[in-house]
Structures are given as structure tokens and as C-alpha cells.
């Protein structure tokens, strides 16, 4: 078998899409496994939807994921240029070739005529598509009208009029489409720009693409691509159309129902390795059912033939769970580095401090952003909270005063500030004040961390140490006393 040359061909039309990463992952892994090349091509022929910053953000997002390409617009390669907008002359030349072979023809039909045709076909519930009026024009006459008269025209693919087109999708088997159902596709628009179909096939041939691994939505265009490749006498690549990612309601994944921008996942604190693992699971599974696996294992074991054809539902909760798994694998130094790069370090955080607080919060971490959220109180003062948060459950705010005062005093008298001593001291306070554990712990928790949810109170005290704990309990006590008019003191 040839060494694979595979590609992705994203269009720079907006934020880098999670679907691009999904398809890139399969292409990348396949190329790596087989020692082939993974190519990044930029499909930017649709100038109406083009966004200049989009290309750069596609590069950045794919690099963040670690899906590096061997050839592409920014790294070059033997088939450069890799941006379709820079390949116009190649397409022009290839179209002339198709015209000369009779595999394509010039069409002079006006937009008005085509509009009427479409309307009529709709009314009669006929198959929509070009009716072939210009197919029979004399090619020399058509060339003269185009080149000498400068008449506006497009170039269309001459789909054979009878019979059918047969091709293979490697995941689905042989597919037969009646030629009557394949439209005489426009290959070159009237402005001289190629359509996606032409540019795509010309480039896949020029780049020596062996396997086209792309989203299922392109399956419907594949007969046209196969006809085109054959018209060029070029080998037809092996096609693998991977199932689309889906919203919970099984519709195609969309912005309205799911986050789809790779930049979003990054800014929300997802790890690239977790997102890759998650995307791999959408179309593949390990033989042993293990769900947490790295890119290295995926590269080793993945085969294109094993892509599953289910309709993978994009389940953010699953991703969140996976992300937690990967976060817990990081050492404090690694985590610190990730947070630093993503500018998500809690204010005032240093590596040693992170190493101390990490064991206390690690079990509840789901995203990088959780660190600042859950440990901000450790590196700085607790975030400002309403005094009412100090109110013990089912009690009055004033009842928080003895709780805070007694626990502060008890802790201040400890000979050793360690877990067993803290536990005994607080239990004594609880029994003396005749309160339940949540009634004791809630005001303390808020006083110490500014949060209603936090790690266990003993852990919080231990990691803060005696002085900081005392200061916070005192400050909270003062607020309670002030708010309850000193009644409780
Ligand atoms: N530009 C197309 C896309 O955005 C490429 C489709 C293909 O891979 O052929 O998905």
C-alpha cells in the first residue's frame, strides 16, 4: 500500500470549528500510524464567506491540540501553494483540459433562466438541477462566444447522460448513484473562480491524496468528485466519510445548541488531550473498552476502517468528566505551567503554593478555570461575600457569632495545628454550642474561603495555617456583629 497522504481542507469562514478538529484527528492519526503525510489545505475560494483572521485561528487551534501538519500554507511543502486562492491559474488550466476532453462544457444560461427553470421544476415536483440546454452547443462556437465575444458563462461538468456512477465509501461499501440524479455541476463560476468541487478534486489529485477522510455531509458530492477524477484520468482516492457530530436532539452539531468553537473550549479551561480523547471516542473505541486514552495510544491502534458509523452525540458532561481525569494526572508543576500559558493562574499564585493547595481541590477540578475559582481564597483574600452567607442553616445570622468566636478561640489555643487537634477542638465547640455539623461548618467555611462550597473545613484550616485562619474568622465575626447590631456579642 502507498504511504498515505491525507488532508484536511477547512474553510476560513469563522471561528475554528470543533468538527475540523474531529476530522483532523482521524487524518492526523492515520498519517502518523502509517508514516505518511498530513496536509493542511485552506479552502478559501468562497470569497463571500471569507474571514481574514479565521485562517490564523485555525492554525492556532490545531497547534494547541497538537495536530501538527507536514505540509500547509505556513510550513510549505512540495505541492505549494496550499491556499486555494493562490492556485487560480492551476484551476483555469485544468478546466481548459476538461473542456478539451469534452468532459465539461460552457454554459451561457442566465441567472434569470435558471431561476425560472428551478421554479418550474419545483412546481412540477421534478428533480432539481440543470436541464442541460447548453450541453449540445458546438464547443468551438461556445469557445468563440466566451473568448471573443466575452459572453458571461460558467463551465459545467458533463455528467454522462445514462447509466450510473459507482464508487466505494470504505465505511459503507459500494454506492451506486444514477447519473440522471447527478447535476451538471458548475465547476468554474462566471467570475473565473472555481467551485469547491473543482478545486477540491484538482488539489486532491495534485497533492497525491490517497485517502479522503472527511465529514459525512460531503458524501452526497462524492459521485461528482469521482466523475471528475475519472475525467482527469486520475486515480480515485479511497473515501471515508465520518459521521457528523450531533446535538442531543441528533441534529447536526450547531452553535445554537452546543459550543462549537475550539477557542471556546480553550478559554473554558479544557485540556487539549481531553478534547482529543473525547473526539476520538465519538468515532472510535478501544478494544478493551478503556475510555481514557492518549493520542499515542490512538495513533498506535486506530485504523480508518474502524471508524464507527453511529451518530455520535456531543455530550459536554462527558467531556467535562474526561477533562477532570486528565487534570488529575498533572503534577503541580505541570498544572502551574498550563495555567500560566493560558493566563488562568489565580492572582498571587506561585508554584509552591499551587503544590500545597492542589491536593485539597484536585478531586473537584473539572477545568483549568476551576483552579482560580476554587483556590482564589488561598492565594489572596476570600472574594467579598454578602454577610448573610455567614448565617448558619436554619438559624439567625446572629447565631453565627458564637460559632465563629468559639471556634476561633479554640483553634487559637491549640498546641499543635494538625488535623486530629483541629477535629477534636471543633467537635468540643460543636457539643458546647449544641449545633449540628453543618451549622458549625457553614459560617466557618464562608468566613475562611468566601464560598459556600469548598473542600473539607479541616483541610481548609490546615492549608491556611493558624494565623490566616484566625484573621479570617475574626474579620467575619466583626461583620456579623456589625450586621446584627452587636446583639450577639
Ligand atoms: N472545505 C470543506 C470543508 O470545510 C472541505 C471538504 C472536504 O474535505 O472535501 O469541510
In the block, cell 445548541 appears at 257
Rounded to 5 degrees, what are φ and ψ at 391?
-65, 125
Single pTM value for the model? 0.92
| pLDDT, tens digit (0-9, with 9 covering 90-100), for 18-68 | 999 999 999 999 999 999 999 999 999 888 898 989 999 999 999 999 999
- Residues 247/258, Cβ–Cβ less than 8 Å: yes
Q: Which of 200, 204, 222 to mutate to test the pocket of ligand 1 (most atoms within 8 A of CB)?
A: 200
Cell of 316: 459536554
pLDDT-based confidence at residue 489 (cuts at 50, 70, 90):
very low
Distance between Cα 284 and ligand 1 center (Å): 21
Q: How far is CA 183 from CA 132, 179, 231, 283, 464, in A?
A: 9, 8, 16, 31, 71
Give the max Cα distance, the chain.
105
**Closest CA relative to residue 312, chosen from 274, 273, 285, 294:** 285
* Helix ranges, 342-399 (H): 351-361, 369-379
Residues with Cβ within 8 Å of 397's Cβ and at least 6 positions away in sequence, in order, are: 387, 388, 390, 391, 480, 483, 484
> What is d(CA 222, CA 485) in angstroms, rounded to the nearest whole number?
78
pLDDT above 80 for 147: yes
| pLDDT, tens digit (0-9, with 9 covering 90-100), for 331-374 | 999 999 999 999 999 999 999 999 999 999 999 999 999 999 99
Cell of 241: 466519510
> What is d(CA 265, CA 22) in angstroms, rounded to the nearest whole number?
13
Q: Is 437 a catalytic residue?
A: no
Cell of 36: 505518511
- Strands (DSSP E) found in 139-261: 154-157, 164-169, 173-178, 186-188, 211-215, 238-242
Q: How many CB atoms lie within 10 A of CB 102?
A: 10
Distance between Cα 484 and ligand 1 center (Å): 66
Q: 221: which DSSP letter?
A: G
pLDDT-based confidence at residue 485 (cuts at 50, 70, 90):
confident
> What is d(CA 267, CA 263) in angstroms, rounded to the nearest whole number?
6
Distance between Cα 46 and ligand 1 center (Å): 12
Q: Which atom of ligand 1 is nearest to the CA of 200?
A: 9
Q: Whose CA is nearest to atom 5 of ligand 1?
A: 9
Q: What residues flank ligand 1, with Cβ below 6 Å? A: 9-11, 43, 200, 214, 218
| pLDDT, tens digit (0-9, with 9 covering 90-100), for 111-146 | 999 999 999 999 999 989 999 999 999 999 999 999
| pLDDT, tens digit (0-9, with 9 covering 90-100), for 213-222 | 999 999 999 9
pLDDT above 90 for 276: yes
Q: Which of 8, 9, 211, 260 to mutate to test the pocket of ligand 1 (most atoms within 8 A of CB)?
A: 9
Cell of 417: 495545628
Q: Find residue 20's DSSP bridge partners.
A: none
| pLDDT, tens digit (0-9, with 9 covering 90-100), for 149-201 | 999 999 999 999 999 999 999 999 999 999 999 999 999 999 999 999 999 99
Q: How many CB atoms lie within 10 A of CB 18?
A: 22
- Position 2 scores a pLDDT of 74
Q: How far is CA 309 from CA 215, 290, 300, 414, 432, in A?
A: 11, 19, 21, 64, 64
Tell me which of 53, 122, 255, 437 is the catalytic residue: 255
Q: Residue count of the chain, please give it.
A: 489
- The alpha carbon torsion through 243, 246, 249, 255 (nearest 10 deg) reads -150
- Position 158 scores a pLDDT of 98
Amino acid at each position: 500500500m502507498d504511504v498515505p497522504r491525507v488532508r484536511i481542507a477547512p474553510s476560513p469562514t469563522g471561528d475554528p470549528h470543533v468538527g475540523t478538529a474531529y476530522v483532523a484527528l482521524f487524518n492526523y492519526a492515520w498519517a502518523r500510524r502509517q508514516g505518511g503525510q498530513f496536509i493542511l489545505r485552506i479552502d478559501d475560494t468562497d470569497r463571500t464567506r471569507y474571514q481574514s483572521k479565521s485562517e490564523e485561528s485555525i492554525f492556532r487551534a490545531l497547534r494547541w491540540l497538537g495536530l501538527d501538519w507536514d505540509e500547509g500554507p505556513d510550513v510549505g511543502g512540495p505541492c505549494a501553494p496550499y491556499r486555494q486562492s493562490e492556485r487560480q491559474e492551476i484551476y483555469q488550466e485544468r478546466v481548459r483540459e476538461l473542456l478539451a476532453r469534452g468532459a465539461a462544457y460552457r454554459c451561457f444560461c442566465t441567472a434569470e433562466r435558471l431561476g425560472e427553470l428551478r421554479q418550474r421544476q419545483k412546481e412540477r415536483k421534478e428533480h432539481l438541477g440543470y436541464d442541460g440546454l447548453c450541453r449540445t452547443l458546438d464547443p468551438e462556437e461556445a469557445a468563440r462566444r466566451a473568448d471573443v465575444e466575452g459572453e458571461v458563462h460558467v463551465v459545467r461538468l458533463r455528467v454522462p447522460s445514462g447509466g450510473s456512477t459507482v464508487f466505494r465509501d470504505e465505511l459503507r461499501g459500494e454506492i451506486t448513484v444514477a447519473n440522471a440524479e447527478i447535476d451538471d455541476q458548475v465547476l468554474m463560476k462566471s467570475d473565473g473562480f472555481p467551485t469547491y468541487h473543482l478545486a477540491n478534486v484538482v488539489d486532491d489529485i495534485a497533492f497525491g491524496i490517497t485517502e479522503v477522510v472527511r465529514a459525512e455531509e460531503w458524501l452526497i458530492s462524492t459521485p461528482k468528485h469521482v466523475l471528475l477524477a475519472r475525467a482527469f484520468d486520475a486515480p480515485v482516492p479511497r473515501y471515508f466519510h465520518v459521521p457528523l457530530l450531533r446535538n442531543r436532539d441528533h441534529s447536526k452539531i450547531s452553535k445554537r445548541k452546543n459550543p462549537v468553537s475550539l477557542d471556546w473550549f480553550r478559554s473554558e479551561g479544557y485540556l487539549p488531550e481531553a478534547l482529543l480523547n473525547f473526539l476520538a471516542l465519538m468515532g472510535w473505541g478501544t478494544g478493551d473498552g478503556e475510555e481514557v486514552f492518549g493520542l499515542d495510544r490512538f495513533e498506535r491502534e486506530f485504523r480508518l476502517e474502524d471508524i464507527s458509523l453511529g451518530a455520535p452525540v456531543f455530550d459536554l458532561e462527558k467531556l467535562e468528566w474526561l477533562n477532570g481525569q486528565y487534570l488529575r494526572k498533572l503534577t503541580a508543576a505541570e498544572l502551574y505551567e498550563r495555567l500560566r500559558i493560558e493566563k488562568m493562574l489565580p492572582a498571587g499564585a506561585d508554584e509552591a503554593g499551587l503544590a500545597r493547595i492542589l491536593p485539597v481541590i484536585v478531586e473537584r477540578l473539572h477545568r483549568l478555570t476551576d483552579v482560580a475559582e476554587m483556590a482564589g481564597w488561598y492565594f489572596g483574600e476570600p472574594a467579598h461575600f454578602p454577610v448573610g452567607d455567614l448565617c448558619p442553616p436554619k438559624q439567625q445570622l446572629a447565631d453565627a457569632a458564637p460559632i465563629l468566636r468559639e471556634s476561633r478561640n479554640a483553634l487559637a489555643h491549640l498546641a499543635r495545628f494538625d488535623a486530629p487537634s483541629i477535629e477534636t477542638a471543633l467537635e468540643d465547640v460543636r457539643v458546647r454550642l449544641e449545633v449540628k455539623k453543618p451549622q458549625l461548618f457553614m459560617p466557618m467555611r464562608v468566613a475562611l474561603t468566601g464560598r459556600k462550597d469548598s473542600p473539607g473545613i479541616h483541610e481548609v484550616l490546615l492549608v491556611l495555617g493558624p494565623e490566616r485562619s484566625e484573621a479570617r474568622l475574626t474579620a467575619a465575626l466583626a461583620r456579623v456583629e456589625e450586621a446584627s447590631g452587636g446583639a450577639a456579642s
